Structure 1
Amino acid sequence: MLRSRHYIGASVLQIALALYFATVLSFNVRFRNLFKGIIFFPYLINGVAIAMVFLYFFQPGGTLDSALRLLGLGGLSQQWLGDPEVINYSLAGTSVWRYLGLNFVLFLGAIQSIPAQLHEAAEIDGANRWHQFRYLILPGIRPIIGLSFILAISGSLAVFEIPWIMTGGANGSETFVIQTVNMAFRYHKVGLASAMAVILLLIVLLVTWVQRRVVPDERVNLS
């Protein structure tokens, strides 16, 4: 469970980026449809394909190291998937790139559901983009933000696909779900693995209950 902190931190960053891009692209911006497609496209790609692509991306002398050398930052090159101090950050960054599009679409849909008349009235009253975000957009999409946090935290606790394919849990990247799978199929302790799965389910339910208590599902009256 301790390694899940990297993915939970990455999930918070992912939600912040998704909210930022959704807010910016909800206004009239040049090429905004192109940017929407670029942000959402990774979510449409199969997780196995993404893991294989980033496996080569993080290889020593691979795409990332070559890009760093091109920028004059070759000294930052290291064992991205071999160093236990770095590997979980690399895997978490891969997850951010993959799932950013999901939260982006959720936020963008919620923002676009806010009546355009309210934005027009805010602009007439002299509200800038920051004021519109703080007093109009943010309260209007509060339930969606709460839902995104539930999905992000539960996903962070149950992360499996990307670390399993890219590292197999080696070099300190073994997550709770990988431990559960190994317990069942490598060590043949099916009962213990089942108990671990139930514990994970209870933790996710507890997180969901706490989130619903702390951030109640309140819908802002926009009429």
Structure 2
Amino acid sequence: MAELSERSGVPIPTIRYYLREGLLPQGRFTSPNQASYDEAHVHRLGLIRAMVEIGEMPIATVGKLFRHLENPSPGGGNDDESRTLGLVQYALVRQKSSSAGEDPADGSDVVSTLLERLSWNVREQHPARSVLAAAVGNLRRLGQDDILALLDRYAAAAHELAEAEVALTLARTGIDQRAEAVVLVGVLGDAMLGALRRLAQEDVVIREIGVPTDSTASATSDRPA
């Protein structure tokens, strides 16, 4: 386990915790108090870290996903694979504690109209519906109609990116590999997209108002550690 910890960068107590919670498969016991771990364990730890540390997914949710992947529904086939990948993606959506539909001033109507107009095939139970509706509702309450007017452009950019992401996912072989792609695109892909968006915004601001790059760098370096 010490070697597994060194190679994965995960502390031994954390590895033991993941083992207890069933997130990490048990190693092959070589003695009553010692087990052997392989590359699959190192890989699984990297995936868990991405989900928990970057994606901020609850341990219980991560465990549920792994259990579903290890014990798929009987019958298999495309329907079960679609359901499995859907469950993985739904688990990545961070929802608010209250439902967006409880507030009559929310954006549920805007979301439904948008999806219908774009002819997107989206299940009613997709949790991202309520997340988007809450964002739309907040913009409405704040009177930010100009930001809300960007919704179609957000949708166009998102769909173009989704086509590439889904193609990448389906190019992988087997449900495990495809589910892992959904997780990594959802967690690390979101992180990259968010970071690139902020970087692009700074570039556009500097181009538009002519702030020198060295001034920006100086302001950044002055931030407290």
- For CA contacts below 8 A with separation 6 or more, give which structure has more relative contact order: 1
Q: Which interval holds the TM-score relative to the shorter structure? A: under 0.3
TM-score, normalised by the number of residues in structure 2: 0.25
**Greater Rg by CA:** 2
What is the TM-score normalised by the length of structure 1? 0.25
